[in-house]
Amino acid sequence: MASLMKSFVDVSPGSQFPIQNLPYGVFRPSAGASPRPGVAIGDSVVDLSVLSEAGLFKGPLLSSSSCFSQTSLNAFMALGRPAWKEARKTLQKLLSDGEPTLRDDHVLRSKAILPMNQVTMVMPAVIGDYTDFFSSKEHAVNCGTIFRGGKEDALPPNWVHVPIGYHGRASSVVISGTDIRRPRGQTSPPPGENAPEFKPSALLDFELEMAAFVGPGNELGKPVSVDEAADHIFGFVIMNDWSARDIQKWEYVPLGPFLGKSFGTTISPWIVTMEALDPFICDAPEQDPPALQYLTEKNRFTYDIPMQVAIRPKGESKASVISNTNFKYLYWTVCQQLAHHTVNGCNLNTGDLLASGTISGPSFGSLGSLLEMSVAGSREVKLEHGGVRRFLKDGDEVVMSAVCEGDGFNVGFGECRGKVIPAFNS
Amino acid sequence: MASLMKSFVDVSPGSQFPIQNLPYGVFRPSAGASPRPGVAIGDSVVDLSVLSEAGLFKGPLLSSSSCFSQTSLNAFMALGRPAWKEARKTLQKLLSDGEPTLRDDHVLRSKAILPMNQVTMVMPAVIGDYTDFFSSKEHAVNCGTIFRGGKEDALPPNWVHVPIGYHGRASSVVISGTDIRRPRGQTSPPPGENAPEFKPSALLDFELEMAAFVGPGNELGKPVSVDEAADHIFGFVIMNDWSARDIQKWEYVPLGPFLGKSFGTTISPWIVTMEALDPFICDAPEQDPPALQYLTEKNRFTYDIPMQVAIRPKGESKASVISNTNFKYLYWTVCQQLAHHTVNGCNLNTGDLLASGTISGPSFGSLGSLLEMSVAGSREVKLEHGGVRRFLKDGDEVVMSAVCEGDGFNVGFGECRGKVIPAFNS
């Protein structure tokens, strides 16, 4: 504790963004300005384009790179782990309390370090493909029971062998704070009818997920082994995979979810790096039956990341927490997901997003969707600050957060938030 | 016939690329050169960057546009139908036999018009998202019978109401001529076993499809109506949606196809525009039950496009034709697909690809996959030049083509070809 690294930038006790975190995002310093990469520290944002132009990245991999002068993080993410480590080392040194370079250069400092509440966060990366996995055993069992009936057969026979995933819609992945329009669509025929209904979704839900950004990709036809997979992961963001359960239920056989998901997917703006998450490594669940060889990790681990979901109804000032869960419950790790994804030769590109699937824990208070909490709408979910929900109402804001508690510091993800607005009226 | 438009560029009788076609592609004139847009005419390619630099696009929408100086067609496709019509009018005039501007300027002509066999075709557009539909009723019934058993229940109950689609993998869409590596993956446990196998796919297949490139997109939350949909479609290419049936069968419940498809998808290089396909408009199949209102077209039509599949085994000089089918058999039109895709508010971007799904006709000779022709491998498919197939062997080249026969001219798509190479050996 005595030797805990500190920054000259103000970081309040308990802040999610101490010098031990330094998550990457992309922001506009003012309305007209072009987006540029930054890192969060305390309540401030460090403009990496300014530091780069000032020649402060002096390491061999970054000194002549233009990666921090781009409007997305893709160029930086493509450089790979050695460059990420170099950047982290440089930034931790530049921002540490004993280092005068930036601390005492008041002109540079005022240009490079901006109050977070004065900047606008934008999408951190250009996402090529977005893949959504289905890695929580608890969630898979809960969904199987609800959608296919019968707890005994709830888990499909492939589930314990295959890190099941599907292609999601990349175009509608949006940054935290973007309103989500309630989707319209076809739903099952009402009892006694043959024709489906067409209407705004009546069963709008969230799904709490964690999503990994791919750093260096792989060539088409060249799989990445499970033990090499970690070097392809740049960092994590919180994701809300908004889901319209009634649309999803009617459409998903036989080709999977489509319009029940593609109307919007929200991510938190700050990408927390694997280096920052290192202190929170923990054991991953044991796998029974054992995974096939291509999915067997020499060093199997995951991360202890407590996560939370809250709902703030329209007009309310307080959000009601409805779930406390943890990333560590997931059965399939991100390395297993990535190895599986590429084992057929599929190529990943820098900026691709691999989402975990809904994160549900073993207890009632640790579920990752209203579908599960309300048991498909059959029970009311109580909001601590008043009201009940089975599914989301117009005006509801869903706020997801995740904070790792370290020894004397936190490593947080900030928030992933989005408000439901009424359906399109043609 | 007397008034049929002709070009001064050599176009042999029966050519797929007469002046009535003018499909768009992107090519490299030589190995080191940067890619640029072109149109095909006869056995030649017209370099649009050269015509544009020479100031020959004089219309109001294109005279000051840099869309033909890009390395993809996205900028041109984003401009929309008025600009596409202006480009077509300009090109048909410039290339017509009575027009001296290009015909008699020998320096410009030799720079702008290149032999097709000396250029290299590359991907015509940057594809954001790729969506694959499931629009052939015959194919859906055949697959249902094979995968789910029983011809009576073969068609899922939603099929006649929903233009079913799913998100495909955009990163592995490749240009015709790219080798396709046989994928490895998990397949169902052998009889009496509990654990799945991991091996190179033994049931590798093609799927004959047509895919539409999206021109102007739509904003997130703003659906496109079925009667506006046509203005968002730039043109069509042939697609081979390579499929590993054994991997697909084991993985696809409950979230749909993933690694059974994502190892490669081939498209033909020339995008045939809707304007060129106008003479081939025909009635689309009647829909019973009637489509829901948002899918009901004021003017319902499709295109009469004969399509063919052939296999050329390793070492053979001749390809054996194994299917003759037609785009017009598809139950759901591309306008219905696009309206459905956006009805929930999902945004499409310029360059997105909407594929039809496997095109199977009503007869045995008009099926679009080996799965159907061999009835899941239970029968041999005879190759006219020798050999039989149930599924594809290493070294097999699959060649797909499509040619519309007009009144005195053809409008063809060229070829979509790809050769199967052996699985990755780690």
Q: How near does any CA of chain A get to the CA of B46, in Å? A: 31
pLDDT of residue A1: 47
A167:B162 CB<8 A: no
Identify which of A253, A341, A345 has the shortest CB distance to residue B181: A345
CB contacts of A217 in chain B (<8 Å) are 171
Segment A260-270 mean pLDDT:
98
In this predicted structure, the answer to whether residue A2 has a pLDDT above a threshold of 70 is no
For residue B232, the tally of other CB atoms under 10 A from its CB is 26
Q: 3-state class of A174 per DSSP?
A: strand
Residue whose C-alpha is closest to residue A263's, from B212, B219, B226, B252: B219
Interchain CB distance below 8 Å, B293 and A198 = yes
Annotation says A167 is catalytic: no
* Cα separation of the two ends of chain A: 60
The H or E element containing residue B339 is helix B334-342
Contact A346/B at CB under 8 A: yes
pLDDT tens-digit profile of B330-361?
999 999 999 999 999 999 999 999 999 999 99
Calpha distance B134→B157 (Å, rounded): 14
Structure pTM? Answer: 0.97
pLDDT at B2 over 60: no
Name the A residues in 199-258 with CB < 8 Å from any B CB.
Answer: 217, 220-223, 225, 244, 247, 250-258
Residue B134, CA distances (Å) to A67, A218, A406, B207, B227 in order: 42, 30, 50, 11, 21
Tokens of B148: 């789910």
Average pLDDT, chain B: 96
- CB-based contact A241:A261 (threshold 8 Å): yes
Q: pLDDT tens, B239-262?
A: 999 999 999 999 998 999 999 999
Is B168 at the interface with chain A, CB within 8 A? yes
pLDDT band at residue B147, thresholds of 50, 70 and 90? confident
Q: Report whether pLDDT(B150) > 80.
A: no
Task: Taking residues B2-18, report their average pLDDT.
Answer: 92
A24-122 CATH choice from 2.30.30.230, 1.10.150.80, 2.60.40.1890, 3.30.300.30: 2.30.30.230
pLDDT band with cut points at 50, 70 and 90 for residue A426: low
Q: Under DSSP, is residue B214 helix (H, G, I), strand (E, B) or coil?
A: strand
The whole-number average pLDDT for the span B401-417 is 97
CA distances to A156, A268, A273, A383 from A279, rounded to whole Å, are 35, 21, 12, 34
For residue B79, give both structure tokens: 């401009």
Q: What is the pLDDT of residues A269-327, one digit of tens each?
A: 999 999 999 999 999 999 999 999 999 999 999 999 999 999 999 999 999 999 999 99
* Average confidence score pLDDT of chain A: 96
B262 contacts A183? CB cut-off 8 A: no
Over the stretch A135-166, which tens digit does the pLDDT of each residue have? 999 999 999 888 777 777 889 999 999 999 99
Q: Cβ A347–B172 below 8 Å, yes or no?
A: yes
pLDDT band at B151, cuts 50/70/90?
Answer: confident
pLDDT at B426: 63
* Domain spanning B130-421, CATH architecture: Alpha-Beta Complex (3.90)
Residue of B nearest to A189 (CA): B158
Q: What is the sign of the dihedral through the CA atoms of B80, B86, B88 and B91?
A: negative
DSSP β-bridge partners for residue A167: A131
| Boundaries of every domain in chain A | 24-122, 130-421
Chain B residues touching residue A352 (CB < 8 angstroms): 171
Q: Which two tokens stand for residue A243?
A: 């889901």
Give A 139-158 residues with CB within 8 A of chain B.
144, 147-148, 156, 158
For B7: left if phi > 0, alpha if psi spans -120 to 50, otherwise beta; the answer is: beta
Asked if this assembly's ipTM is beyond 0.85, the reply is yes
- In the 8-state DSSP scheme, what is residue B203? -
Q: What is the dihedral of CA A337, A339, A341, A343, to 10 degrees?
A: -150
- Each residue's pLDDT tens digit, A62-103: 999 999 999 999 999 999 999 999 999 999 999 999 999 999
Cβ–Cβ below 8 Å for A134 and B255: yes
A171 contacts B346? CB cut-off 8 A: yes
pLDDT at B425: 86
pLDDT tens digits along B71-125 = 999 999 999 999 999 999 999 999 999 999 999 999 999 999 999 999 999 999 9
Q: pLDDT tens for residues A171-199?
A: 999 999 999 999 999 999 999 999 999 99
pLDDT, tens only, A115-127: 999 999 999 999 9
Question: How close does chain B come to A176, measured CA to CA in Å?
Answer: 15
Tens of pLDDT, residue by residue over B22-71, are 999 999 999 999 999 999 999 999 999 999 999 999 999 999 999 999 99
A195 neighbourhood in chain B, CB within 8 Å: 161, 289, 292
Return the residue of B nearest to A252 by Cα: B255
